[in-house]
C-alpha cells in the first residue's frame, strides 16, 4: 500500500514542554507517554496504547472502568472532565491520597 506510513502505536512529535521518559504528552487531541526524555520543541516518541502508572490528582477517587482524563496544566491524571482530555480508563481503583493511578490508554476514544 503506497500511502501507509506506520502502525501508529508509537509516533514522533515535538515535545510541547520538557518531558522525562514516562511522562504524559498532550498535543491537541493526541495523547501518549514519552518513551524518552526531551527538551521543549525537541523530537520525542510517544506511545499511544498500553497500561501505565501515571501521576494523579491525589484527592481523586476512581473505580475500575471509570474514565481517566489528562489535566495538561498540572500534567497528571484526573477524574475531572472540565476542559481535560479523555485519555482512557482506570484499570485499578484509586483511593483519596494515592499519588498515582493505573490507566489503560485508548487512542480510539478521543
pLDDT in tens, 26-40: 999 899 999 999 999
* Residue 110 pLDDT greater than 60, yes or no: no
This prediction has a pTM of 0.91
Going from the C-alpha of 104 to that of each of 10, 42, 84, the distances in angstroms are 15, 26, 17
Amino acid at each position: 500500500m503506497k500511502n501507509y506510513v506506520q502502525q501508529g502505536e508509537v509516533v514522533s512529535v515535538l515535545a510541547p514542554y520538557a518531558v522525562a521518559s514516562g511522562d504524559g504528552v498532550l498535543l491537541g487531541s493526541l495523547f501518549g507517554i514519552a518513551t524518552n526524555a526531551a527538551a521543549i520543541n525537541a523530537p520525542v516518541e510517544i506511545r499511544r496504547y498500553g497500561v501505565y502508572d501515571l501521576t494523579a490528582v491525589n484527592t481523586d477517587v476512581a473505580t475500575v472502568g471509570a474514565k481517566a482524563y489528562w489535566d495538561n496544566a498540572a500534567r497528571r491524571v484526573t477524574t475531572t472532565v472540565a476542559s481535560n482530555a479523555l485519555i482512557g480508563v482506570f484499570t485499578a481503583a484509586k483511593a483519596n491520597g494515592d499519588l498515582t493511578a493505573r490507566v489503560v490508554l485508548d487512542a480510539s476514544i478521543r
